[in-house]
Amino acid sequence: MTYSIAVLGAGKIGEALLAGLLGGGRRVEDLMFTERHPDRAAELTTRYGFRAVDVATAAKEADVIVVAVKPQDIEPLLDELGPNLDVGTLVVSLCAGLPTTLYERRLPDGVPVVRVMPNTPMVVGEAMSAISPGRYATGDHLATVEELLSVVGVVVRVPESQQDAVTALSGSGPAYFFYLVEAMIDAGILLGLPRAVSEKLIIQSAVGAAAMLAKTGEHPVTLREAVTSPAGTTIMAIRELEKHGVRAALLDAIEAARDRSQELGRQHDED
Ligand SMILES: NC(=O)C1=CN([C@@H]2O[C@H](COP(=O)(O)OP(=O)(O)OC[C@H]3O[C@@H](n4cnc5c(N)ncnc54)[C@H](OP(=O)(O)O)[C@@H]3O)[C@@H](O)[C@H]2O)C=CC1
Ligand SMILES: O=C(O)[C@@H]1CCC=N1
């Protein structure tokens, strides 16, 4: 379907979305963005051809407004957007922690809002996005967002009450895998392998493991057990991971990320 989309804040996620939509066949004239820094705006226009606009123009011209600024930058943006927005425009928030009620309070009455938690694998068309409707968002609005995001990855619908947990799991999730890969590459260096070799071994192992998870339908426990030979090498490593409490560390880490997402939302409670 043809409709115009404006991304407010074309940073890492905003750019990934715009580039993905363009790659997925959307017309460049239907894609626009706002950016704070003229250099960044010029860079995006030169690289892709998207139109840099101001917030008032985005509000006037776009059918869908995607908010992709950091949660800490939301207040001045809503101040600027509110007076210019038409009640028929669909607002999609990608911001961690921010509830749809914040937008509903600050934007014209009845504006439909859909909260989304995507992740950075969007840059390679492999995003995991979870979407939740606000008070005024209908099934059609959800379907529009689903169609939009399915071009850059997989989309699930969740109740908004689960979005802070989703943010901690899949929103931040890629960072945990990158951290693990980084540590495993270091282990290769510790064992005396050249860095390039260590990187190749670990990255391809990560790609292979991810493909097995995605394609075999097997449970991760089954896949791990298949690697873990009796009295072999893997079980020696697993014992060390258990001794160091890596599983408990992950549970605590993800709980801390969930708490931070809740806190980011609460920061805008009293307006
Ligand atoms: N990165 C990630 O993995 C994920 C991020 N998110 C969410 O997406 C949002 C964006 O994150 P990310 O892309 O990483 O952040 P970035 O900082 O890379 O992008 C935000 C961009 O918005 C610009 N900006 C800020 N205020 C305004 C404004 N008023 N008008 C126009 N542009 C503005 C920023 O400029 P400046 O450089 O001056 O700050 C920056 O370029 C966040 O809310 C985050 O929670 C969600 C899922 C995953
Ligand atoms: O770290 C963050 O706050 C953002 C939200 C999810 C991933 N990155």
Q: Are residues 238 and 151 in the same domain?
A: no
Pocket of ligand 1, candidates 8, 13, 79: which has the most ligand atoms within 8 Å of its Cβ, to mutate? 13
Q: Are residues 141 and 21 in the same domain?
A: yes
Q: Are residues 249 and 152 in the same domain?
A: no
Distances, alpha carbon 224 to alpha carbons 157, 220, 257, in Å: 29, 6, 26
Q: Are residues 26 and 142 in the same domain?
A: yes
In a domain? residue 189: yes
Q: Are residues 246 and 183 in the same domain?
A: yes
Confidence of residue 2 (pLDDT cuts 50, 70, 90): confident
Per-residue model confidence as pLDDT tens digits over 189-235: 999 999 999 999 999 999 999 999 999 999 999 999 999 999 999 99
In a domain? residue 267: no
In a domain? residue 270: no
Closest protein CA for atom 5 of ligand 1: 13
- Contact, 67 vs 88, CB < 8 A? no
Distance between Cα 13 and ligand 1 center (Å): 7
CATH number of the domain that residue 224 is part of? 1.10.3730.10
Distance between Cα 229 and ligand 1 center (Å): 46
Q: Which residue range forms the structural domain that includes residue 234? A: 173-261
CA–CA separation, 10 and 270 (whole Å):
28
Per-residue model confidence as pLDDT tens digits over 74-102: 999 999 999 999 999 999 999 999 999 99
228 closest CA partner among 218, 216, 236: 236
Nearest ligand to the CA atom of 17: 1
Q: Are residues 184 and 91 in the same domain?
A: no
Which ligand 1 atom is at minimum distance from the Cα of 71?
A: 43
Is the C-beta atom of 171 inside 6 A of ligand 2?
Answer: yes
- Enter the pTM of the model: 0.96
In our burial notation (b when 16+ CB lie closer than 10 A, e otherwise), range 143-167 reads: ebbbebbebbbebeeeebeebbbbb
CA–CA separation, 270 and 268 (whole Å):
6
Say if residue 1's pLDDT is above 80.
no
Is the C-beta atom of 77 inside 6 A of ligand 1?
Answer: yes
* Sequence ranges of the binding site for NADP(+): 68-71
CATH number of the domain that residue 21 is part of? 3.40.50.720
Total count of domains within the chain = 2
In a domain? residue 47: yes
Domain boundary among 107, 128, 163: 163
Domain boundary among 163, 187, 214: 163
Closest protein CA for atom 48 of ligand 1: 119
Domain boundary among 163, 189, 205: 163
Pairing state between β 113-117 and 127-133? antiparallel
Distance between Cα 165 and ligand 2 center (Å): 12
Q: Are residues 20 and 96 in the same domain?
A: yes
> Is 193 exposed, middle or buried (CB count within 10 Å of its CB: 0-12, 13-18, 19+)?
middle
In a domain? residue 269: no
Mean per-residue pLDDT, 143-156: 97
In a domain? residue 268: no
Q: Are residues 250 and 186 in the same domain?
A: yes
Is the C-beta atom of 195 inside 6 A of ligand 1?
Answer: no
Is the C-beta atom of 96 inside 6 A of ligand 2?
Answer: yes
Per-residue model confidence as pLDDT tens digits over 101-141: 999 999 999 999 999 999 999 999 999 999 999 999 999 99
Q: Are residues 126 and 184 in the same domain?
A: no
In a domain? residue 134: yes
Distance between Cα 35 and ligand 1 center (Å): 10
User: What is the predicted pLDDT for the residue at 270?
Assistant: 58
Q: Are residues 106 and 177 in the same domain?
A: no
What are 252-259's contacts with CB under 8 Å, separation 24+?
Answer: 253/176, 254/168, 254/169, 254/172, 255/168, 256/168, 257/167, 257/168, 257/172, 258/164, 258/165, 258/167, 258/168
In a domain? residue 271: no
CA–CA separation, 160 and 96 (whole Å):
12
Nearest ligand to the CA atom of 12: 1
Distance between Cα 174 and ligand 1 center (Å): 17
Q: Are residues 236 and 126 in the same domain?
A: no
Q: Are residues 109 and 156 in the same domain?
A: yes
